[in-house]
Amino acid sequence: MEECFRAVQVALERRPELPVLLLSMDSTSVNPWHAVQLGAKAYCDATQPLQRFVSDIDRLLSGESLIAETARAEAPSTRPAVQDLLTARQIGVLRLIANGAGAKEIANELGISVRTAEFHRAAIMDRLDLRTTAQMTRYALQNGIC
Q: Where are the domains of the chain?
A: 2-74, 82-142
Q: Give strand pairing partners of 22.
A: 43
pLDDT at position 103 is 95
**pLDDT at position 43:** 73
- Residue 117: CB partners within 8 Å, gap ≥ 6? 93, 103, 104, 106, 107, 110
Tell me the CA end-to-end span of the chain in Å, nearest whole number: 8
pLDDT of residue 121: 95
- Phi then psi dihedrals of residue 15, to 5 deg: -140, 80
The answer to whether 74 and 30 have CB atoms below 8 angstroms apart is no
Looking at 1.20.1440.230, 3.40.50.970, 1.10.10.10, 3.40.50.9100, the CATH number of the domain 82-142 comes to 1.10.10.10
Residue segments in the chain with a per-residue pLDDT below the cut of 50: none
User: CA dihedral in degrees (119, 124, 126, 127; nearest 10)?
Assistant: 140
- Per-residue pLDDT, 144: 84
At residue 110, the pLDDT reads: 95
Instruction: Name the pTM for this structure.
Output: 0.48
